[in-house]
């Protein structure tokens, strides 16, 4: 579901920005968010089922941080990413939906990167995978 909404946001930004002849950076960041959501799901499974759970935890931590920064930047702007604050109400509404859907994912990702007990993580990884990948 989250991926579908991210695709919708990316498409809306693309259409709006092409009409204004503006900013490829926001389009690229919006598209990157979709890829990062898939990467989060893959890395969550890697923690539980992979042969290098410590490395997978660090990768997931980094991917989570990139996703958070991208989402925040698309909404509020981020000078270092080259993003201005979003002004279009329709796009802001969709981005806020993504933010709302991300919150429970974020909590589970946080538990995955903080835990050292793989057995207790299976449910967390399955939840993340189901909600980040499937629509």
**Residue 83, φ and ψ in degrees, nearest 5:** -110, 135
Instruction: Quickly state the pLDDT bin for 21 (edges 50, 70, 90).
Output: very low
Which of 49, 53, 50, 81 has the alpha carbon at shortest distance from 65? 81
pLDDT for 19 beyond 80? no
Question: What does the pLDDT average to over 116-135?
Answer: 63
Return the structure tokens found at 20: 């204004």
Are the CB atoms for 53 and 118 separated by under 8 Å? Answer: yes
Domain that holds residue 77: 2-133
Distance, CA of 20 to CA of 91 (rounded, Å): 14
Find the mean pLDDT for residues 28-47. 87
pLDDT higher at 131 or 28:
28
Q: What is the pTM of this model?
A: 0.78
Torsion, Cα of 41, 99, 12, 59 (10° steps): -30
Q: Is 125 helix (H, G, I), strand (E, B) or coil?
A: helix
Residues 48-61: what's their mean pLDDT? 86
> What average pLDDT score do residues 49-55 get?
81
Query: Which helix (H) or strand (E) segment is 107 a member of?
Result: helix 89-114
Domain count for the chain, please give it.
1
Sign of the CA dihedral with 65 first, then 69, 70, and 72 last:
positive
């Amino acid at each position: 579901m989250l991926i579908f909404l991210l695709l919708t946001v990316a498409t809306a930004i693309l259409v709006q920005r092409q009409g204004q002849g503006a900013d490829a950076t926001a389009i690229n960041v919006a598209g990157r968010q979709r890829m990062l959501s898939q990467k989060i799901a893959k890395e969550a499974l890697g923690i539980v089922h992979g042969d290098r759970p410590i490395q997978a935890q660090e990768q997931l931590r980094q991917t989570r941080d990139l996703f958070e920064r991208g989402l925040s930047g698309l909404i509020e702007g981020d000078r270092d990413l080259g993003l201005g604050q979003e002004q279009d109400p329709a796009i802001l509404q969709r981005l806020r939906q993504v933010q709302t859907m991300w919150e429970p994912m974020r909590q589970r990702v946080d538990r995955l990167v903080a835990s050292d007990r793989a057995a207790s993580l299976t449910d967390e990884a399955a939840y993340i995978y189901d909600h980040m990948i499937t629509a």
